[in-house]
Structure formats: C-alpha cells, structure tokens
Structure 1
Amino acid sequence: MTTDYHSRIPLIEEEAACLAALAGDLSIPVPTCPGWTIAELITHVGQTHRWTVHVLRGRVQEPIWSRQVPSGLAEGQSGDADWLAAGASELLDTLSTTDPETVVWTWGPDKRASWWPRRMLFELVIHRADAELALGLDPVIPARTAIDGVEEFLHNLPYAAWVTRPLAQLGMEGATIHLHANDADGEWTITQGPAGKITWARGHAKGDAAVQGPVGDLLLMLYGRRPSDTLTVYGDHDLLNRWLATAAF
C-alpha cells in the first residue's frame, strides 16, 4: 500500500501540470461536463485538491464535502491556472508528508490516507481528458494508469450512493458487463447486485454485454466521456448504455 501511495504522487504532479497548461481560454465550454466552461472545470479540480489537503492535515474523521472547505477565491470568482497549480503544490506536499496508514474520513471503503492519492489521480486524469476534448484533442491515458483507473472506479462505485440509488431503479439485478482491453492485460466482469450495488472480478468471462477496446477508452467510457459505440460491443447494447448512463460520475 505504501508503495502504491507514493508511486501515484509523481503521476498527480504530471496530470496537474498538464491540466494547468490546458487552462488558457477559460471561457471554452466543456461538452463532457454540461454547463461548465474550462474555468468551472479548473475551479472544481482545484477545490478537490484543497478538500483533500483539509482532510489529511486535519485528520478529519467526519463526512465533509469539498464545497465546505475554503477555496481562497472571492465569492463568484473562478480559479485559473496559477490557482490550480498552487493547490496542486499544496496537495503534493501534503501527500508526501502524510503516513498512508493515517485514519481519516473518505467517501469510499478505505478509511485511511492511502485512499486519497488514487482518487485525486483519477479526478485529474478524467478532468484533463475533459479539457482536451473541449479543445478538440484526443486524450491519451497510458495503459498502466488506465488499468488502475478502471479498478479504482469499480472499487469505489458501490460506495457512491448518488450512483447506487439510481442504479437500483434500473431493474438490472444480476446483469453482467464484461470489459476487455485489447492493448493491455486487463479484463473485468461487473455484476449488478441488489440495492444498486455492484461486484466485480478480474479475468475472462461472458457477460450480458461485453465491450472491447483500448483500456484508456474503456476508462473514459465508464466515466461517460467516450460513447460505447466507438468501441466494439457484443451482446445487449441497450443494457450496456442504460447502465453506463447511470453509473458514470
């Protein structure tokens, strides 16, 4: 766990620098985050960094959400590249000096500091992709990072109540979705369980629906950033799309 914790810190630094470099024209709309511009995207990411710092430095034990943490911005003001970089620097320093075994609040299953760098890495990866798509660029996610991202998404999804509640309304209990990376050693099967919660397992299996493609595209698909019809789909395409539309966060 300690190795994973510290190995993600340089990746966070890279992703934060990449996103800051994309924050030129802050007025550009972000189609994958309807209603947002680049300014609002940057503000959201920078606020999540400050939230993480607050939780880790304060050894917070009770639920607290990012909007409850001071941003350093005036009312109605949006963040910019410099503000994002300042928050990322503080985040990196905090992660580097925090014991991964420190007990703190998280919204996921792991109540230790070690949960936070992985979550912050993929918050950055996905929102960097959002900014690139807004600018007409094609996001590239290294396969090793994307595999980690798929598993981080599946690991946390059962604890995202804002997702499991609507999943429970789909009437899909027992449905299975298989993901198969064609550019890396990655296969997963997701099973929809009771109360909207999912279980998942690595390895080859048949599913009611199956999706094959580059693992970076599979990750973007899970987050609603890449349509399933841009990958190879087998089986029940409608079931897949209904599940994806509900599960993305």
Structure 2
Amino acid sequence: MTFQGPDRRLGHDRYCAEILAQTDQLRADLAGADLSATVPTCPDWSLADLARHVGGAHRWAETIVRTRATAFVPQDEVPGVPGPGGEDPAALDAWLAEGARLLTGTLRAAGPEALVWTWTPAGTAGFWARRMVHETLVHRADAALAAGREFAADPEVEADAVDEWLEILGGPAGPVISPKLSGLRAAAGGSIHLHATDAAPETAAEWTIELDGEGFAWSRSHKKATVALRGPMADVLRVFFRRLPADSDRVEVLGDATVLDVWMENVSFG
C-alpha cells in the first residue's frame, strides 16, 4: 500500500488551532439539541454519548502527550475521561471546551516532534494533533446529522482528513484499525477516483486509489478510474467516512459502483 507525492500536512500550529475550532463547532451543533437523540451514523450512541467520546479522546491524547507515555494508556486511568455526572447540557459543554483547551495547550508546549506512544509508527505528539483534529471533524458530521444541522468545514482540513485516513490504511496499523481490509481483493484491478468539485485548485482535492491483490496504492491525482465519486468536499468526505450513503443525491457516482461498494464494505475504523 503506497503513496508517492509531497507531504501537504497543515502544520502543528494549524492543527492545534483546528482542535479548538472543530470543538467549538461541535459545541455549536450540540447547543439546544436533544442530547438523548440517537446518532444515525453511530446508532449505539446518543448525542451525549458522542460528546463524551470526543471529549474523552481529547483528555486521553492530552495525558499521553503530557506524560510522554511510552506505552498504551488505558482510558480508565485518565482523570476526567467519563465527563460530568448527570445530564446538564451546560456542564457537558464546559467539559468539552476545557478538554480541547487542555489538549491544545499540552500539544503546543510539547511541539510536534516530542516522542510519545502512538498506535502508528509515527511516535510523536504531532500525530495526536492531527488525529484529534480529524477525530473531532468526523464526529462533527455525526452530530450535525443527528441534530439536523448543516455540516461544513474548511476544504483544506477536509482534504487532509482524507489524506490521513489513506495514510493510516496504507500503513502497518491499517489491518488492525480496519480488520476487513483484506476484503479489498474482491475488487483487485479496479480503481476509485475521488473528486471534490468545489475545492480551490491549491487544495488539490482529487485522489486516485488503485486496488491490487495485496492492497492499494493512492495518489493525489486526476486519472481515469473504474469508478468516480464526485461532489462537494464535505459530501465526498462524508461518503468516504461512511457518514453519507454513496447513492445520496448530494454526490455523483460514475462508472462501476461495485468497486466503490467493495471499498466501503471493507474499510472502516474498528
């Protein structure tokens, strides 16, 4: 599973700022919503559960970076991870905001090269800065759907989320994070083109994924593919992260849709 091309990561300072920005937008989506409502894209969760998941992840990552952990840290050993007791929306909102501030402060103090435990070979605080941006971003999409709000983000951030996901899948952690990844063999010889139709040229929001018997290779490119997924960047992102069905009228699928179906059936977090 390979990629050839320049690194276009957003930079540590930008990731730190985006953790705060994405959390603030999540909080806005939750404000006034029924926190007991089921999240359609995470049906085991209510909106309150989703908020606690994101806030707990922030505190977990903050502890890993602050303590310079060299091994996995169980979440139940991290103070504050469960969130506030009771059902008070104001307390949950304040807890979310506090966790994002704590995480951002710790990441900024550590810098991107600080050595810490990660579940990929990266082994640096910079991994957690980027990961927590996209963890929050994708769960914002979940929250917006459940709360009946529109979802949008900076296309540059959304494109980086696609990059990060492909990097994770193509790395040593891929088969662990996505246990059915070997099922991509069913579409060997096929290819997928992702095209964000509303992104500025400098964002380069196009990707080609080529499947083979061993896995896949990917590039940021405009190429003829077996199947193409086209639409606004926010909607391409949501389809790619299984937050929007590929047959939604918000996107367009051109070519052999079965190849995209195989990808969607075999690629997921957990």
- Could you tell me which residue of structure 2 aligns to residue 95 of structure 1? 107
5 Å-filtered alignment, 1:12-31, equals 12-23=19-30, 24=32, 25-31=34-40
Unaligned runs of 5+ in 1: none
Contact 2:16 2:107 in 1 (8 A): yes
Encode CA deviations 1:192-234: one digit per residue, 9 max, x unaligned: 3555x43211111122221111122111111101111221111
**Is the 8 Å Cα contact of residues 226 and 255 (structure 2) preserved in structure 1?**
yes
The residue matched to 2:187 in structure 1 has which SS?
A: coil
The Cα shift of 1:34 comes to: 1.2
TM-score by length of 2: 0.82
**How big is each residue's C-alpha offset from its partner over 1:74-119, in whole Å with a ceiling of 9 and x where there is no partner?**
8986782122112111111111111211121212342211111111
Give the corresponding residue for 2:4: none
Could you tell me how far apart the structure 1 residues matched to 2:227 and 2:168 are? 22
Moved more, 1-10 or 40-49: 1-10
Percent of aligned positions that are identical: 37
Q: CA RMSD in A?
A: 2.5
1:42–1:122 CA distance, 2 compared to 1 (3 A): same
Give the Cα separation in 1 of the matches to 2:96 and 2:252: 37
- Partner of residue 126 from structure 1, selected from 115, 133, 138: 138
**Residue 107 of structure 1, aligned match among 109, 119, 122:** 119
- What's the counterpart of residue 236 of structure 1? 256
Contact 1:163-1:246 within 8 A present in 2 as well: no
Contact 1:29 1:38 (C-alpha < 8 Å) held by counterparts: yes
Alpha-carbon distance in structure 1 between the residues aligned to 2:161 and 2:83: 34
Q: Distance in 2 between matches of 1:105 and 1:31?
A: 33
Number of positions where the alignment pairs a residue of Structure 1 with one of Structure 2: 248
How far apart, CA to CA, are the structure 2 residues paired with 1:96 and 1:76?
Answer: 30
Amino acid aligned to 1:17: D
State the TM-score, normalized to the length of structure 1.
0.89
Between 45-54 and 158-167, the greater mean CA deviation after superposition? 158-167
Work out the CA distance in 1 between the residues paired with 2:83 and 2:17.
Answer: 30
Q: Which residue of 2 aligns with 1:61?
A: 70
Match of 2:210 among 170, 177, 191: 191
Higher relative contact order (CA 8 A, sep 6+): 2
